Structure 1
């Protein structure tokens, strides 16, 4: 009797292999030959699932995106009750900074996604960028005195208060730049310095009263 093959499971296994390669070599390392060798497959067998390197890398990027959401979302959505509102928001934003081994891995995955989207701009814009902007919009809205945005779809749309949009953009840009400095100039930007700079920016967000 012919052996049944779970093709979806095998694709998932190849996705896990591709993520391992991204973490070690970056997106450039995700080649048909490289993934086949890492998985212990022949290149011919792998081509039954991915016709060329473009298809393979596109799938790897999707797996990386799903991996980031699975790892990061539970941390940013964790209920925080201790400390001031600035401190609580800071601990959320810090989940996006490569301050430890786990978050440095996530930064590598995010960098691979950014590289892919730069080369192949997605229709409708970057999903990873949109996810991050929604997070910062939620953070700034709370800092400004608004109630927390609870509906995910609502967080993806511009806030009615233009000041929230402005500071969400500033926070987004600041965290991205700070993350880059932590990775690229580690001797200049320590975890302690990053934490201090982040809280200084959050303290500067204007407190406003929503119209009622």
Structure 2
């Protein structure tokens, strides 16, 4: 037997990557079976691990769900980071594309939003999840406000707008569109989402054209 064949190389496991795989399995279980059925056993089965192996990465179901919720936030943040727009180059169309990252307009974002809504409901009675939910709400508001601030600094908005109030209104609109996309995706299409968001931004702008695409 060759010497190298006698040596059993240890299996190298990326701890963080494995945690993300498990969290992804939790997403699927939540989507297919509901948050109330997202047990350690079912999540372990979905991820191809034994419950004992899963507990090597997460000590409890609560810890796993916290990580799953944070992973949704990280995905959204990454999409924002991938869009690097300077104030002097922002346009109304660019602002719309940035904001669309907050709305489930494809399968990936539909899954994220379904998981987020399920965990947000559970967060009403779970303090650790509630903190993540509250912090994320604040971060999203700041992101929306920042988009409006950039548009304002680029002189693309009507003068004397209350940017904080408009950011709140836009946040509510985005939340409503997202919820409708989850509840009735056949009734509120991606095209309609685009139109509604375009019309809202156009109402705030000092640009006379109705088409900001």
The two structures have a TM-score, normalised by structure 1, of 0.71
The superposition leaves residues 10-48 of structure 1 with CA deviations (integer Å, 9 ceiling, x where unpaired) of: 444433432343444443343111122223333233334
What does residue 65 of structure 1 align with?
73
The superposition leaves residues 123-175 of structure 1 with CA deviations (integer Å, 9 ceiling, x where unpaired) of: 487122122111110122133x2269xxxxxxxxxxxx981110000000011
Distance 1:187 1:15, change over 3 A: closer
Distance 1:25 1:78 in 2: 37
What does residue 154 of structure 1 align with?
none
Distance 1:137 1:190, change over 3 A: same
Q: Structure 1 segments of 4 or more deviating over 4 A?
A: 3-7
Structure 2: gaps spanning 5 or more residues: 1-7, 207-213
What does residue 17 of structure 1 align with?
25
Higher Rg of the two aligned structures: 2
Deviation of 1:177 after TM superposition, in Å, equals: 0.4
Distance 2:170 2:106 in 1: 21
How many residues align? The count is 191
Structure 1: gaps spanning 5 or more residues: 149-160, 208-212
Distance 1:124 1:32 in 2: 21
Decide which of 142, 145, 163 is 2:150's aligned counterpart.
142
What does residue 97 of structure 1 align with?
103
Kindly indicate whether the alpha-carbon contact (under 8 Å) linking 1:33 and 1:43 is maintained by their aligned counterparts in 2.
yes
Deviation of 1:78 after TM superposition, in Å, equals: 4.0
Kindly indicate whether the alpha-carbon contact (under 8 Å) linking 2:27 and 2:68 is maintained by their aligned counterparts in 1.
yes
Q: Tell me the secondary structure at the aligned position of residue 34 of structure 1.
A: helix
Moved more, 125-134 or 39-48: 39-48
Distance 1:119 1:33 in 2: 22
What does residue 15 of structure 2 align with?
8
Distance 2:100 2:189 in 1: 13
Are 2:55 and 1:47 equivalent residues in the alignment? Answer: yes
What does residue 204 of structure 1 align with?
203
Distance 1:74 1:7 in 2: 24
What does residue 185 of structure 2 align with?
186
Deviation of 1:6 after TM superposition, in Å, equals: 5.2
The two structures have a TM-score, normalised by structure 2, of 0.71
What does residue 128 of structure 1 align with?
136
Q: Tell me the secondary structure at the aligned position of residue 188 of structure 2.
A: coil
What does residue 177 of structure 1 align with?
176
